[in-house]
């Protein structure tokens, strides 16, 4: 077995957490390649090191004294080093960081130092080789991740390395400047490494035992998801499920490598397996429920719309011209509705209305705000009759008014629109009918 293991910030926030991680890694010889995040919060009121670095660099960028803030960051690392009884000082590293901050090396460089320094500590603690991600992960001049170039470079670099630590979250442009992924990008680094070494498993360690069927802030102690496919994960991540960065599946998907979401604080828990495809049936008809608030619906009515060639394209052209992306576009014979993010739309509302009148000459335009979208996702829905009917029955019983429904031809998910103030009630009703009723 050959495993790549990635540990999140909460798993590496203190020396005590580092020791847990060390025990997890050394308990399995297959865990050969380690991807660490920057130290996260040690307690609820604490500040993540990445946020400390951003704030510190902001001072440097404005020409202000940042020495006190940088000293506090160094203190966080020295606390971990001391707790692990390592012989590291980081004097040279922080001298270099201070010089680069003064030279205004960029926010990406600043943020990346969190993972870089934690990687140094992890390598020293485990006795593994340290490999700077900037040397093996590449972006083009526009900031687009170069997947194939990176895969070749990473595979070649690790070909003869038995055990290594590769810090997450960042890589480099062709000129050597540091470039970061979006927040949570250490998940992507782990996936990149897993593909390069053709790992049997990519273990992603965090502070929860995998994905849950619903948001625990809405549902009290929701059940966990044992197995989920890449496609199901994409649907849930898009609608707000955030245990794993949604782009982390792409590198491993190319190689069919499964991802196992594990809990550093409960390492014996099975967690959630993320796979390309599986014959294993879901315990429930649905795999998960996720959603977001804050949408507007722009309903365009026009008689004989269905016979007017190019009508849909013209409607979407108006939104594109105003730099507004759309989320969903359900339609009828004489109606077409476009769902957009309310915060993007409100400032451009009347421009969009005027544009629609110019391009498609509608009979009526009606706008609804304060809407929420909920995705009910599950590969088991294909083989189960009456899923949509059960959803509607549950929502009706909970006195929730359905404003929109949209189901893709894959039958993998059903999107439901409700008002913001009925969002939580809707999720509870759907969870109860598909999960609680089957327990």
Q: Which two tokens stand for residue 198?
A: 């053709």
Q: Is the pLDDT of residue 280 over 90?
A: no
CB 18 within 8 A of CB 121: yes
Whether residue 329 has pLDDT greater than 80: yes
Handedness of CA 355, 361, 364, 368 (dihedral sign): negative
Domain 288-438, second-level architecture:
2-Layer Sandwich (3.30)
Domain spans of the chain, in order of start = 3-275, 288-438
Q: How far separated are the first and last CA of the chain, in Å rounded?
A: 36
> What pLDDT, in 10s, does the model give residues 161-193?
999 999 999 999 999 999 999 988 999 999 999
Residue 331: band (very low, low, confident or very high) from pLDDT cuts 50, 70, 90:
confident
Quick: pLDDT tens for 353-384: 999 999 999 999 999 999 999 999 988 787 77
Identify the band that residue 409 occupies on the pLDDT scale cut at 50, 70 and 90.
Answer: low
Instruction: For the chain, give the mean pLDDT.
Output: 94
Distance of CA 66 to the CA centre of its chain: 31
CATH of domain 3-275: 3.40.1160.10
Burial (CB count within 10 angstroms: exposed 0-12, middle 13-18, buried 19+), residue 332: exposed
Mean pLDDT (whole number) for 25-39: 97
Is residue 411 over pLDDT 80? no
Contact between 365 and 299 under an 8 Å Cβ cutoff? The reply is yes
> Scanning the structure block, which residue is given the tokens 């090396």?
105
Task: Determine what percent of the chain is predicted with pLDDT higher than 90.
Answer: 81
Which has the closest alpha carbon to 241: 266, 256, 257, 219? Answer: 219
Average pLDDT over residues 202-231: 92
**Percentage of residues in the chain with pLDDT exceeding 70?**
99
Other CB atoms within 10 A of residue 267 CB: 16
The string of pLDDT tens digits covering residues 112-136 is 999 999 999 999 999 999 999 999 9
């Amino acid at each position: 077995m050959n495993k790549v293991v990635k540990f999140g910030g909460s798993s590496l926030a203190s020396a005590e957490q580092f020791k847990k991680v060390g025990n997890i890694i050394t308990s399995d010889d297959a865990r050969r390649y380690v991807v660490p995040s920057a130290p996260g919060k040690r307690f609820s009121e604490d500040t993540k090191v990445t946020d400390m670095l951003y704030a510190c660099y902001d001072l440097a960028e404005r020409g202000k004294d940042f020495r006190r803030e940088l000293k506090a960051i160094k203190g966080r690392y020295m606390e971990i080093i001391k707790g692990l009884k390592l012989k590291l000082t980081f004097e040279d590293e922080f001298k270099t960081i201070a010089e680069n901050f003064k030279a205004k090396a960029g926010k990406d460089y600043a943020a990346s130092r969190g993972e870089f320094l934690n990687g140094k500590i992890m390598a020293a603690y485990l006795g593994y080789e340290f490999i700077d991600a900037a040397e093996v992960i590449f972006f083009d001049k526009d900031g687009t991740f170069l997947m194939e170039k990176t895969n070749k470079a990473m595979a070649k670099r690790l070909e003869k390395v038995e055990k290594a630590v590769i810090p997450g979250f960042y890589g480099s442009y062709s000129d050597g400047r540091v470039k970061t992924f979006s927040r949570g990008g250490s998940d992507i680094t782990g996936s990149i490494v897993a593909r390069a070494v053709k790992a049997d498993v990519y273990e992603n360690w965090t502070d929860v035992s995998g994905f849950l069927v619903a948001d625990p802030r809405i549902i009290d102690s929701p059940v966990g998801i044992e197995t989920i496919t890449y496609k199901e994960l994409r649907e849930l991540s898009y609608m707000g499920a955030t245990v794993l960065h949604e782009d982390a599946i792409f590198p491993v998907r190319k190689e069919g490598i499964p991802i196992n979401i594990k809990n550093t604080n409960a390492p014996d828990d099975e967690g959630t397996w993320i796979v390309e495809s599986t014959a294993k049936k879901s315990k429930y008809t649905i795999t998960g429920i996720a959603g977001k608030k804050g949408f507007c619906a722009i309903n365009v009515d026009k008689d004989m719309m269905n016979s007017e060639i190019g009508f849909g394209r013209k409607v979407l052209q108006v939104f594109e011209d105003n730099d507004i992306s759309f989320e969903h576009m359900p339609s009828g014979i004489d109606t077409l509705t476009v769902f957009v993010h309310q915060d993007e739309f409100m400032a451009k509302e009347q421009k969009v209305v005027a544009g629609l009148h110019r391009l498609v000459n509608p009979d009526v335009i009606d706008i609804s705000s304060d809407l929420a979208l909920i995705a009910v996702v599950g590969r088991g829905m294909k083989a189960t009759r009456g899923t949509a009917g059960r959803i509607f029955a549950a929502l009706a019983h909970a006195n929730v008014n359905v404003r929109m429904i949209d189901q893709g031809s894959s039958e993998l998910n059903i999107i439901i629109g409700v008002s913001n103030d009925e969002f939580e009630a809707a999720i509870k009703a759907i969870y109860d009918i598909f999960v609680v009723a089957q327990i």
